[in-house]
Structure 1
Amino acid sequence: FRPVFGCVVSSVLLWLPGLTGVLQNQKTKEQIESLLQDGKHQELRERLCCRLSFGTAGLRSAMGAGFCYINDLTVIQSTQGIYKYLERNFSDFKQRGFVVGYDTRGQVTSNCSSKKLAKLTAAVLLAKDVLVYFFSTYVPTPFVPYAVQQLGAVAGVMITASHNRKEDNGYKVYWENGAQITSPHDKEIIKCIEECVEPWNGSWNENRVDTSPLRQDPLRRICDSYMQDLTKICYHRELNVQSSLKFVHTSFHGVGHDYVQLAFKAFGFQPPIPVPEQKDPDPDFSTVKCPNPEEGESVLELSLRLAEKEGAKVVVATDPDADRLAVAEQQDNGCWKVFTGNELAALFGWWMFSCWKENCSPDADVRNVYMLATTVSSKILRAIALKEGFHFEETLPGFKWIGSRVKNLLDNGKEVLFAFEESIGFMCGTSVLDKDGVSAAVVIAEMATYLQGQGLTLAQKLLDIYETYGYHISKTSYFLCYDPPTIKRIFERLRNFEGPQCYPKCCGAYNILHVRDVTTGYDSSQLNHKSVLPVSRNSQMLTFTFQNGCVATLRTSGTEPKIKYYAEMCALPGLSDRGVLEEELQKLIEALIENFLEPAKNGLTWRSA
């Protein structure tokens, strides 16, 4: 897309390939006309002269007019590109079919509801005589990768922006292995999209979904099968049936309510108490400023107050597309502890391995067992693996990397028990090769029930895990930055800190032992200075290992305008003073922000995560 606007833009909107598609939607047409009439030529250039690219969670952007936004046309173009790519790679593509799911997002100002965009996705494929498995109602994101595998489809798409703000939407693509696409598929699909930007005949006919004999509704089959498969990771059903422990669940105005209720039933529990104001879909997320349960107690207010009223000790919260899980537990002093993603991973890791040990066959080999985490997540699983004898692996950030690696391990006869990313994304078992808040919610409920029988709470067990495997104290937060050149300047400065191609040797008073830069493929800890992790040039990520044992990472978000930081102090079992570790970690983070991010100079806005 070459710029078509000169220094002066006339009152006539100039033609671009596919631009007529923008005008098919009255709402997006009005946006373009308004920008033109108001003389906002720079914004028109930005909207019309660049295209969405695949990030850590597929295509994701605001809903609205333009090729860098999510709208009818960009979804049609993306699907046409996917069709072209799949046709090249699968001779039986049309017979095996394609899965399409959607969440409950929508926006009146752009007329781009998730359901409508899903129907357009299906219409493109149905027009080319492809079998399409189109869910008849909204579903959790994990249902799409699960369905791809169960139905033997070649690929699938979920229309969702997960926990993003209400103005956003997204297009998440899954490959035949049930994992999100990785390179080179993403790059090749983008090429195919650019080769066929003009909508084909029939691509706009969203009503085809309701009339085509090639459309099948997999909802009942997939939901029943998913709930049945859940019981494979249910280890104490007899305790669940008798449990007196109460749970509150919030679905944050998204898709999770019905499915979490069914999951609890599958495990033998009484249904969790729903937060009435948040259990039904609401694309405006009217009771929360941000529909992201990762934000902690501030967005869990309604859940916590309801739990206190009902005498429930544990709150579980699924994000709007139900692929992530937050957990809070009331402590003896009446206060609530909201667990971080890393803390929950310590609990899940201990639980899944303990259950495996108790239920594995006599000839099972622990050396065949694996757990995984993204590289910016806590190293607690590594510590458990070293002590217990199983394998631990790291991947790049994003569950697309975890899912692909897990599939590879399974294909080679390995057993994967658990995987996670610190942003409250958990994979318990391998029925779904993606993060799954529904299964995680019911697993944490069973864990809490079991621990209650042992006279323990989740928080008490977490301390026991740290005392056994070593304290892992971590802190994660972020700065907002809406100016890409500023972000680039921050990271380029770190790559040329004291001269060309010279990374920092210290951060204030803290000496740096190693630097890893997966954006360029550099890693000073390796003999050849090449990163073991794959190069990821489309994102910024630098990791610093300090002489005091702290590991800190700075990276850009793949879905939001954020610079995130992650830092963790690890100690050997029995040799740690938690207070000292926390104090040291906080000082180092302050030095990291002051010396490397320079928020005052760069205009960054800090937000507590």
Structure 2
Amino acid sequence: MSAPETGTDDLAVRVAAWIAADPDPASRDELRGLTDDELAQRFSSPLTFGTAGLRGPLQAGPSGMNEAVVLRTTAGLARRLTDRCLGGGTVVVGRDARHGSESFAHAAAEVLAAAGFRVALLPRPLPTPVVAFAVRHLGAVAGVQVTASHNPPHDNGYKVYVDGGAQLISPADREIEAAIAQAGPANAIPRTPVDPAGEDLVERYLDRVAALPHGTDRGIRIALTALHGVGGATAVAALRRAGFSDIHTVAGQFDPDPDFPTVAFPNPEEPGATDALLALAERVGADVAIALDPDADRCAVGIPGPHGWRMLTGDETGALLGDHVLAVAPAGSLVATTVVSSRLLEALAAARGARYVQTLTGFKHLVRAGDGLVYAYEEALGHCVDPDAVRDKDGISAAVLVCDLAAGLMARDRSLADLLDDHAVEFGVHATGQVSRRFDRIEERAAVMDAVRRRPPSTLAGMAVESEDLAVRRDRLRTDAVVLGGARAGESVRMVLRPSGTEPKLKAYMEAVVPVADRAALAGARARAERLLAELRTAVPWE
């Protein structure tokens, strides 16, 4: 997203050209106040398309999220759509409630309208899944959601959906980047005012989500937090429309607040982020707790237990929802998860007469797993429970189905914890964990991966293991990752090592599987699995 390339211009000339074309006076003043070193940093690494779009800090210049970047990005998107004979089609534009989101969404809508597209600009800050739904519902050629999901408060982003409602994937991202390079100065990009749409698309989304439950039982008490994001009102409306009335919310986290004042990091995966939710659940005697991330595309679930409330892992919730969806799905339906997620869904699918596919991480891959897809999840709290309507992770529809499952179990004097026990007895304990390490330099991260490839460990947790380098595959699982796995006497361990796609980190995803003879042996099997996980943690290559 840099200024137009001239080949020989020095930094001062490029900065001056950018400032002259920046339509935001605050951004112009910000750049004028920077040192030469700061300007060199701002102009050395322009934002590029990552997970379905852009994400970065709110700052002036080509390396940040700002109005000029949004204008040029949207001009590139419009050019790419027009070049693919999609000009004049409908594009949905939505936003969350982060700093800058409202002005960025209007800027994107105005550029698209001036380029001849029909623009459905959503009326207010709304969850990301509403945009994904609207793209499919309207048969739109694309969708844009201005959001940085669960990133820190100083970030924002620009997420792109293509026709069909799935996230953008390569080579479309590179094609858009090429079009952006030809977009010209930001202040020369035509803009046409756009009036926001009404509430109809939101109502259609709520109707669809409310129709998802399988059962008729609604007698549960729900605790819910929106973590200062945009999901609170929509989630409560969806739950009420589905028939759930006993809903208690974390009041101090319910309304959107772009500063996320009560959490260190607005991600329900992070330690401490759900403390207020679990305290509320305990105080009101809830049966299930739901945490949404700030744009409500992720759903975390909490349950009570003998030692108090705890949050389920994404893999635990994935198995619960996968089984629930398959209970009413046609025989031979497809479920999918990723190379770093638990293998429990694969075993469950085989037992339920379903097909299973493993993909690379990210819902841009999961929703393209194949025909007949009825459910997909990834361990990072993402669940797609209704791919015919929303081809992306959707925390609100997942929350409705979790509550449907919990209510049906409660009506039979059972619980989500009981169902987890059932899975462990039927398929063995599948205990999962993750550790990561941040690196100051990309070269250090690459050196660790290279060392693992050249000298993979021969044993893990006392088991002989084999390694597979996914970087040498020639199919859709080709990626920068190494899989280590071994088994002995019915037990197995697995570790996947991969660089993060969004941070300068290496991640290790671990799983230990221990068979369970009967319910009486369950506690011992779980303890054994946790010991194996502890051994795996000590064997992570960078520890």
Cα distance, 1:351–1:295 mapped onto 2, change above 3 Å:
same
For 2:153, the equivalent position in structure 1 comes to 166
Residue matched to 1:350: 323
What is the aligned counterpart of 2:72 among 69, 77, 87? 77
Q: Which amino acid aligns with 2:336?
A: L
Report the CA distance shift for 1:309/1:573 in structure 2 as closer, same or farther (over 3 A). Answer: closer
> Aligned runs of 1:301-450 on 2, under 5 Å?
301-333=275-307, 335-356=308-329, 364=330, 366-367=331-332, 369-405=333-369, 408-409=370-371, 414=372, 416-430=373-387, 431-450=389-408
C-alpha displacement of 1:250: 0.6
Report deviation, 1:258: 1.1
**1:404 Cα deviation (Å)?**
2.8
Aligned to 1:359: none
> What is the alpha-carbon distance in structure 1 between the residues aligned to residue 76 and residue 486 of structure 2?
45
| 1:551/1:567 contact within 8 Å kept | yes
- The question of whether the paired residues in 1 share the 8 Å contact of 2:46 and 2:63 is answered with yes
Aligned to 2:325, the other structure's residue is in SS state: helix
Following the alignment from structure 2 to structure 1, what is the Cα–Cα distance between the partners of residues 429 and 21? 54
Residue 124 in structure 1 maps to residue 111 in structure 2: yes
Other structure's SS at 1:327 match: strand
Equivalent AA in structure 1 for residue 537 of structure 2: I
Retained in 2: the 8 A contact 1:22–1:65? no
Alpha-carbon offset, residue 487 of structure 1: 2.1
Q: For residue 204 of structure 2, what is the aligned residue in structure 1?
A: 225
Q: Match for residue 496 of structure 2?
A: 553
CA positional deviation for 1:114? 0.8
Return the alpha-carbon distance in structure 2 between the equivalents of residues 516 and 385 of structure 1: 26
Check the 8 A contact 2:461/2:535 in 1, yes or no.
Answer: no
Structure 1's unaligned 5+ residue stretches are 107-112, 357-363, 498-502, 523-529, 599-609
Give CA deviations for 1:573-592 in whole Å, capped at 9, x if unaligned: 63882222221221122111
* Counterpart residue type for residue 421 of structure 2: L
Whether 2:15 is the aligned partner of 1:19: answer no
Structure 2 residue identity aligned to 1:306: L
Q: What secondary structure, in the 3-state scheme, does the structure 2 residue paired with 1:294 have?
A: coil
What is residue 582 of structure 1 aligned with on the other side? 530
> Larger deviation: 181-190 or 563-572?
563-572
3-state secondary structure, aligned to 2:13: coil
Q: Which residue is 1:52 aligned to?
A: 47
Distance 1:69 1:495 in 2: 35
- Map of 2:475 onto structure 1: 532
- Contact 2:514-2:526 at 8 Å conserved across structures: no
Indicate if the aligned counterparts of 2:140 and 2:164 stay in contact, CA closer than 8 A.
Answer: no
Task: State the match for 1:500 in structure 2.
Answer: none
Work out the CA distance in 1 between the residues paired with 2:278 and 2:250.
10
Whichever residue aligns with residue 385 of structure 2, its letter is C
CA distance 1:87–1:5, shift in 2 (3 Å): closer
Shift of the 253–541 alpha-carbon distance from structure 1 to 2, 3 Å rule, reads same
For residues 390 and 573 of structure 1, the distance between their equivalents in structure 2, rounded to whole angstroms, comes to 23
Does the Cα contact within 8 Å between 1:468 and 1:574 map onto a contact in 2?
A: no
Question: Map of 1:552-571 to 2, 5 A cutoff?
Answer: 552-571=495-514
User: Equivalent residue of 1:15, what SS?
Assistant: helix
Residue from 445, 465, 475 that aligns with 1:512: 465
Distance in 2 separating the partners of 1:435 and 1:565:
23
**2:375–2:384 contact (8 Å) kept in structure 1:** yes
TM-aligned CA distance change 1:120 to 1:463, over 3 Å: same
Q: 1:57 touches 1:558 (CA, 8 Å); kept in 2?
A: no
Q: Which residue of 2 aligns with 1:105?
A: 98
**Normalized against structure 2, the TM-score is what?**
0.91
Shift of 1:187: 1.6
User: Matched residues in 1 for 2:42 and 2:459: separation?
Assistant: 41
Q: With structure 1 as the length reference, what TM-score do the two structures score?
A: 0.82
Aligned match of 1:526:
none
Give deviations 1:404-434, integer Å, cap 9, x for gaps: 33xx51xxxx2x3211010000011222110
Please report how far the alpha carbon of residue 560 of structure 1 lies from its aligned counterpart in structure 2 after TM superposition: 3.2
Deviation at 1:220, TM superposition (A): 1.8
Q: Distance in 1 between matches of 2:17 and 2:430?
A: 52
Query: Which of 166, 170, 173 is the aligned partner of 1:183?
Result: 170
Does residue 479 (structure 1) correspond to residue 442 (structure 2)? The answer is no
Residue 186 of structure 2 is matched in structure 1 by 199
In structure 2, relative to structure 1, the CA distance for the partners of 1:507 and 1:582 (3 Å cut) is closer
**Distance in 2 of aligned mates of 1:512 and 1:17:** 58
1:152 matches 2:156: no
Deviations, residues 510-545 of structure 1 (Å, cap 9, x unaligned):
54312223xx3x1xxxxxxx3433434xxx433222
CA change 1:465–1:30 in 2 (3 A) is same
RMSD: 2.4
After TM superposition, give the deviation of residue 202 of structure 1 in Å. Answer: 4.7
- Does the 8 A contact of 2:493 with 2:513 survive in 1? yes
- Which residue does 2:268 correspond to in 1? 293
Does the CA-based 8 Å contact 1:140-1:322 persist in structure 2?
Answer: yes
CA distance change for structure 1 residues 195 and 202 in 2, over 3 Å: closer, same or farther? closer
Superposed displacement of residue 327, structure 1: 1.1
Which ranges in structure 2 are unaligned for 5 or more consecutive residues?
none
Which residue does 1:30 correspond to in 2? 29
Residue 607 of structure 1 aligns with which residue? none
Pair 1:419–1:191, CA change in 2 (3 A): same
Partner SS, residue 133 of structure 2: helix
In structure 2, the CA distance between the partners of 1:21 and 1:225, relative to structure 1 (3 Å rule), is farther
CA distance in 2, matches of 1:495, 1:22: 48
Instruction: Please give the secondary structure, in 2, of the residue aligned with 1:287.
Output: coil
Q: CA deviation at 1:562?
A: 3.0
Equivalent residue, structure 1, for 2:238: 263
For residue 254 of structure 1, report the CA deviation from its aligned partner.
0.8
Q: Please name the residue that 2:250 is paired with.
A: 275
Distance 1:492 1:67, change over 3 A: farther
Equivalent-residue separation in structure 1 for 2:342 and 2:532 (angstroms) = 17
Paired residue secondary structure (1:233): coil
Deviation of 1:506 after TM superposition, in Å, equals 5.2
Q: Distance in 1 between matches of 2:223 and 2:73?
A: 39
SS across alignment from 1:554: strand
Q: Are the aligned partners of 1:552 and 1:568 in contact in 2 as well (CA < 8 Å)? A: yes
- In 2, Cα distance between the equivalents of 1:58 and 1:373? 22
CA contact (8 A) 1:57 1:398 kept: no
Corresponding residue number in structure 1 for 2:424: 466
Report the Cα offset of residue 507 of structure 1. 6.2
